[in-house]
Amino acid sequence: MFPESVLAHKYLDGLKGIEIGGANHNPFGLDTINVDITDSRDEEYKLIELEMLKGTNVEPIKVDVVAPGDSLPFPDKSYDFVVSSHVIEHFWDPLAALYEWKRVARKYIFIIAPHVDRTPDRGRPITTIQELEDRHSGKITMSSFKFPLGHWSVWDTEAFLALCRHLDFKVIDYLDRDDKAENGFAVVISLED
């Protein structure tokens, strides 16, 4: 079980949000609904959650809404925030996910993503902004891309912050080493003017 994030509580307490791909071995302790691509317990990441919870009295997290994390069934600005931990790297087109999260959130996007040097992705090249733009535009398609072991995209903290600057996302806080599993980085994006 990983601890709750002090950084997340600093910005998100008292607000209502969406968690993308939540898991009870990695709780945030926030007021969220959990959105996931499936509610099947036979899916790879649900099996990992079950294994992580073995020997505890904690049940797997309930999926409130089954939907792709980059195509949410909510109106514009319908929640205060979107939070995700170790999810964005699993999207073929993380730009589509980020734009979607910006669409549905009024105040914040809070992301914890794996740091390339602290995960099994160590040694892989950082995913460039140009590659992400080419995926988003369709210039590079999933079928023409050799799926890497691990994740579709890899970043270190500075590369992800550069991506946020490129997208004109206002980062108001970040941790180079996240305060949950400590194998990633955390970024707080403000959507308020």
Question: Which helix (DSSP H) or strand (DSSP E) does residue 111 occupy?
Answer: strand 105-114
In a domain, 90, yes or no: yes
**Assigned domain for 41 exists:** yes
pLDDT at site 143: 82
88-118 in b/e form (b: 16+ CB < 10 A) is: bbbbbbbbbbbebbbebbebbbbbbbbbbeb
Which CATH number fits the domain that encloses residue 102?
3.40.50.150
Question: Has residue 15 been placed in a domain?
Answer: yes
Does 56 or 97 have the greater pLDDT score?
97
Query: What is the tens place of the pLDDT at every residue in 100-126?
Result: 999 999 999 999 999 999 998 999 999
Distance of CA 47 to the CA centre of its chain: 19
- Domain hosting 127: range is 6-190
Residues 140, 130: Cα–Cα separation, whole Å: 10
pLDDT (0 to 100) of residue 61: 78
Please state the pTM of the whole predicted model. 0.93
- Tens digit of pLDDT for each residue in 121-164? 999 999 999 999 999 999 999 887 776 656 899 999 999 999 99
Would you give the DSSP letter of residue 165?
Answer: H
Q: Does residue 45 carry a pLDDT above 80?
A: no
Question: What is the number of structural domains in the chain?
Answer: 1
Residue 1 lies in a domain: no
